[in-house]
Amino acid sequence: MAEKIVIIGSGPAGWTAAIYAARANLNPIVYEGEPSNIMIPGGQLMYTTEVENYPGFPAGIQGTEMMGLFRKQSQRFDTQIYTEDITSVDFSSHPFHLKSSENNEVEALTVIIATGARANWLNLPNEQRLAHSGGGVSACAICDGALPAYRDKVLVVVGGGDSAIEEGLYLTKFASKVIIVHRRDKLRASPIMQERAKANSKIEFKWNSIVIDVLGDKIISGVRSQNTFTKEESDLNCGGLFIAIGHTPNTSFLAGHVELDEKGFIITPKPWRTATSVEGVFAAGDVMDPYYKQAVTAAGTGCMAALEAERWLTHKGMV
Residue 144 appears among annotated catalytic residues: yes
Helix (H) or strand (E) holding 296: helix 295-315
- Which one from 144, 238, 286, 289 is the annotated catalytic residue? 144
Q: Has 303 been annotated as catalytic?
A: no
Q: Taking Cα atoms as reference points, which of 33, 2, 3 lies closest to residue 114? A: 33
Q: Please name the residues in contact with 16: beta carbons below 8 A apart, sequence gap of 6 or more.
A: 70, 284, 298, 299, 300, 302, 303, 306
CB 214 within 8 A of CB 137: yes
Among 195, 95, 205, 122, smallest CA distance to 156 is for 205
- Single out the catalytic residue among 78, 85, 90, 143: 143
The order of strands in the sheet holding 233-237 is 209-216, 220-227, 233-237
- CA atoms of 119 and 94, how far apart (whole Å): 34
DSSP 8-class letter at 207: -
Rounded to an integer, what distance in angstroms lies between the CA atom of residue 12 and that of residue 300? 9
Task: Measure the CA–CA gap between 319 and 317, rounded to whole angstroms.
Answer: 6
From 140, 238, 286, 289, the catalytic residue: 140
With 0-12 CB in 10 A as exposed, 13-18 as middle and 19+ as buried, what is 10? buried
The residue count of the chain comes to 319
Active site residues: 140, 143-144
